[in-house]
Amino acid sequence: MKKSMKISILLSLVLLFVVSCSNEKDEYFARPSWLEPPIYQVLQEKGRFTNYLKCVDRTMYASTLKSSGLYSVFAPNDDAFSAYFALKHVNSVDELSDTLVKQIVSYSMVNNKYIYERLTDVLSGGWDTLTSIKKRTAYYETIHRETYQGKSIWVYDMPSFNVGDNNYKYLPFYLKRVFEQSRSAAQASSDYSIFYPEATYTGENVQSANMLEKDMMAENGVVHEVDRVLEPLPTLEKLLDTPDYSDFRELLNITGSTGEPYFITYTYSKTATDYFQEAMPDSIIDEVYLKTYSGLSYNLNFERYGSTVKDAEQGGYTLFAPDNTAIAKFNDYIKDYYPGGIKTASNDIISYFLNAQLSSDLVWPGDYKGSMNDLGEFLNGVGNRGADFDKNNYTKIAPASNGFFYGGDNYIRSRYFETVFTEILLNGDYNLLKTAFTEYFETTLEEELLQCELNGYTQENYTVLMPSDELLTDDGFKWEWISGSNKYGFTHSHSGSSLGNFDVASRMQRLVRSHIFKRLKNNDVDCSITEFATDPSFESAYAGYSYAVNEYGDMIRYKDGKIQMLGNYDENDWVTATPYKTFNNGQVFKIDKMLQYSRRNTYPDAPEGYTMQDLWLYILSMASGTQNVNIALFKNYMNACLKGDESNELAGLSADMVLTIFMPTNAAMSKAIANGDLPKLTEITADVAARQKATSFILYHIVKGKIFVDDGLPYIMPNDEVIKEEVWPTALKDVVDNTYLAIRKDDDGHLLVSTQVESTGKELSTVVKTATVKRGVKRSNYFASNAVLHEIDDYFVYQKATE
């Protein structure tokens, strides 16, 4: 009995202790009285979100907004829903589809708690000092059907797939503290209104809505009231899904001979397949493919901007979509190359056109004037010198979930279709020339020929003589596919390769460069070669000839549409140049034969046909009795000081040097002898010092590194800008230091040459003496191997610098 009583007392004590502990635990874990209610309750208590809550109740997000978590909800009030019902021609939430209701709710929810002051900050492992212009919502579009190689497949619009990392849409914000940082309030309002013409810009905008009551705190986040019901924006890709843009969409979807799209890649994903098979058991899902755009600067279908989560909140893309009318205009522009239109071109050509319409930044209307596409070309064609944005030029302007969409009946012009390089790129008669650019000049000369006002080059002008496949084949060239030959898989060969010491690449490169002329053309200067005819004001100077220097550095002469380079001159042969097309940055000519640096006709199958004659032979020719005896004395000194007894080699002047040789007249040479600046010829043989002095005298009249011609222009060409003077080293060394001459042009276009001395030991500035190039077809601009020969009316003596 006593034992039973003890047990009862003990049990009572234990029960009392358990009850006491339970009460203390409930009290400890009880919801604090100071804690805000959940988002759902906050909205209920406000009383003006009844329609939004009805939508929430029809989704799986009802429990989410009633429980724990961290969300920012942009909740449309009942007035917003009333306006939305009228727009949709319905009377209540009940008449909205489940799909639409889910979109409205999930698109209004942003993960994490962003009070109003934090909406422009980036939250990634802590608050970042970046600028956010949009936030990721809970809404994403799921898989859909597309046709690929003749069959219907399931497609997901992401480049990669990880469970939980869906293609979430982003909600854009237009908040004053960011939106007006780089633009005035008036410009901000104008830019915003172009995309949302029915909305009013307040600087507190969310998409087309305005925020009313902000920062309604809740246990599981924060609520911001908005005055419009917001639907998810479509992607740039989806905005193309109208008949007006079917031709542009056809280009994006175009396939090659194997049926594979040029610009779209479908990649099977087992992870995505497993996920969606489980998530959508009622759908018949066999395989899921991830869709990406390849060969374009960005994915039109991908919601996330950039490559990181941080990037995603800071920017977007822009698509200038040409409608069918615009495509027809472009097809008409390129009909000479592609009668069937751009869709019949190769994929690289189509990609130039497509990428010209894309920008990997958000191009606001107010920033349009100075903005470029992803090829680095001004959208308006000329940049800040051109037109401002005009919304009347576009038939469809819309914000997309991943950027901006401008659709209209014009296209963004590209340098690939409007420069002298266009003819090389697109004309099938010049495939050998095109492959030469690909193999040898892709990042150099090709880029130069693409310079024009479209990409910011306002004065570059080029004249290109076009060696056709027929001409290059006749010369011995062909190209062939050779695996591993280079990164392109092809190389050039030549029938002359068997001759020994023959370099195919060197010959092709020289020939290409020999047919290109760099010039200038702007408001103040125009030395473009639009026809190979002599200016009347220069006709008497050189018996009707004009002169120019090509991109390689060789001199040419021309008149009446006929041209000679050294090899043509040697064989008394002429190249006929016929004007063909004018482009944004110059003009191209058809030619009946090629400019040559060697005697290809005389020696078609011998080494001499590919090499230049010795420089000495041209000096002898110029100084002969039938040409110009005025420089015979200079020639005699060269012979005595530089030439070997049996060879034509000239000491100090190698065969690969590029030279401009200024040859004083006999009278100037005699004056130099009389003044003691030049020893007599009879003294040179026996007196070593006299020979050295005479040799230095000769070498100081030879400029190395560039050919300077007397072309009648008041500035020196070729150059990237107007230059009236250039200082160049001579063939004379002052022990180890270079010596220099200054090459000048006067206002009348005469070629002058001056001696200079160093005024500070470094800078060349003090002119001592100037000589003038004597004009006449046998006196100056005389052809020579890698050189030009000029007669001048005075002589020079090198003066060593004094400190």
pLDDT tens for each residue of 227-239: 999 999 999 999 9
| Band (23; pLDDT cuts 50, 70, 90) | low
Please say whether the beta carbons of 618 and 626 come within 8 A: no
- 3-state class percentages of the chain: helix first, strand second, coil last, to nearest 5: 35, 25, 40
Residue ranges in 254-323 assigned as alpha helix (H) = 270-279, 309-312
Which 3-state string (H, E, C) describes 159-214? CCCECCECCEEEEEEEEHHHHCCCCCHHHHHHHHHHHCCCCCCCCEEECCEEECCC
Q: What secondary structure letter does DSSP report for 410?
A: -
Burial category of 796 from C-beta neighbours within 10 Å (exposed 0-12, middle 13-18, buried 19 and up): buried
Please say whether the beta carbons of 317 and 362 come within 8 A: yes
Q: Above 80 in pLDDT, residue 22?
A: no
Q: Above 90 in pLDDT, residue 500?
A: no
Which helix (H) or strand (E) segment is 765 a member of?
strand 764-772
- What is the rounded distance in angstroms from the CA atom of residue 591 to the CA atom of residue 51? 77
Q: Above 50 in pLDDT, residue 534?
A: yes
Please say whether the beta carbons of 255 and 262 come within 8 A: yes
| Band (784; pLDDT cuts 50, 70, 90) | very high
- Coil, helix or strand at residue 368: helix
Centroid of chain to Cα 218: 50
Q: Above 80 in pLDDT, residue 475?
A: yes
CA proximity to 792, closest of 666, 677, 665, 699: 665
According to DSSP, the residues that pair with 407 across neighbouring strands are 321, 396
User: If you search the block for the tokens 């100056």, which residue do you land on?
Assistant: 780
- What is the rounded distance in angstroms from the CA atom of residue 290 to the CA atom of residue 529? 53
- What is the rounded distance in angstroms from the CA atom of residue 542 to the CA atom of residue 557? 10
- What is the rounded distance in angstroms from the CA atom of residue 691 to the CA atom of residue 684? 4
Give pLDDT, residue 801: 54
Tell me the pLDDT tens digit for each residue of 309-341.
888 999 999 999 999 999 999 999 999 999 999
Residue 351 φ/ψ, nearest 5 degrees: -65, -35
Please say whether the beta carbons of 440 and 508 come within 8 A: yes
Tokens of 436: 């030469």
CA proximity to 415, closest of 428, 426, 402: 426
Give pLDDT, residue 32: 64
Least confident of 188-202, 217-231, 737-751: 737-751
Give pLDDT, residue 480: 79
Least confident of 177-181, 234-238, 418-422: 177-181
Q: What percent of the chain has pLDDT over 70?
A: 92
| Band (125; pLDDT cuts 50, 70, 90) | low
| Band (155; pLDDT cuts 50, 70, 90) | very high
According to DSSP, the residues that pair with 111 across neighbouring strands are 71
Give pLDDT, residue 721: 87
Tokens of 222: 């924060």
Tokens of 547: 């002169």
**Count of Cβ atoms closer than 10 Å to residue 653 Cβ:** 22
What is the CA angle 621-626-631, rounded to 5?
60
E-strand spans in 565-722? 575-583, 586-591, 659-664, 702-704
- What is the rounded distance in angstroms from the CA atom of residue 464 to the CA atom of residue 486? 27
Least confident of 19-33, 141-155, 521-535, 763-777: 19-33
Q: Above 60 in pLDDT, residue 730?
A: yes
Tokens of 257: 């001979």
Give pLDDT, residue 733: 86
Give pLDDT, residue 505: 93
- What is the rounded distance in angstroms from the CA atom of residue 456 to the CA atom of residue 466? 25
Better pLDDT: 342 or 491: 342
Q: Above 90 in pLDDT, residue 508?
A: yes
- What is the rounded distance in angstroms from the CA atom of residue 670 to the CA atom of residue 754? 19
- What is the rounded distance in angstroms from the CA atom of residue 265 to the CA atom of residue 137? 27
Give pLDDT, residue 29: 45
Residue ranges in 582-628 assigned as alpha helix (H) = 615-622
Q: Above 60 in pLDDT, residue 765?
A: no
pTM listed for this prediction: 0.90
Q: Above 80 in pLDDT, residue 138?
A: yes
Tell me the pLDDT tens digit for each residue of 156-172.
999 999 998 899 999 99
| Band (798; pLDDT cuts 50, 70, 90) | confident
Better pLDDT: 284 or 19: 284
| Band (28; pLDDT cuts 50, 70, 90) | very low
710-743 in b/e form (b: 16+ CB < 10 A) is: bbbbebbbbeeebeeeeebbbbbeeeeeebbbbb
Tokens of 299: 């994915």
Please say whether the beta carbons of 209 and 232 come within 8 A: no
- Give whole-number Cα distances, 786 to 225, 607, 702, 730, 789, in Å: 79, 18, 13, 15, 10
The answer to whether the Cα torsion of 712, 717, 722, 725 is positive or negative is negative
Please say whether the beta carbons of 204 and 210 come within 8 A: yes
| Band (760; pLDDT cuts 50, 70, 90) | very low
- What is the rounded distance in angstroms from the CA atom of residue 358 to the CA atom of residue 411? 11
- What is the rounded distance in angstroms from the CA atom of residue 572 to the CA atom of residue 562? 12
Chain mean pLDDT for the chain: 92
pLDDT, average across residues 59-81: 96
- What is the rounded distance in angstroms from the CA atom of residue 201 to the CA atom of residue 484? 60
Give pLDDT, residue 8: 53
Q: Above 80 in pLDDT, residue 100?
A: yes
Tell me the pLDDT tens digit for each residue of 645-694.
778 999 999 999 999 999 999 999 999 999 999 999 999 988 999 999 99
Q: Above 70 in pLDDT, residue 57?
A: yes
Give pLDDT, residue 9: 47
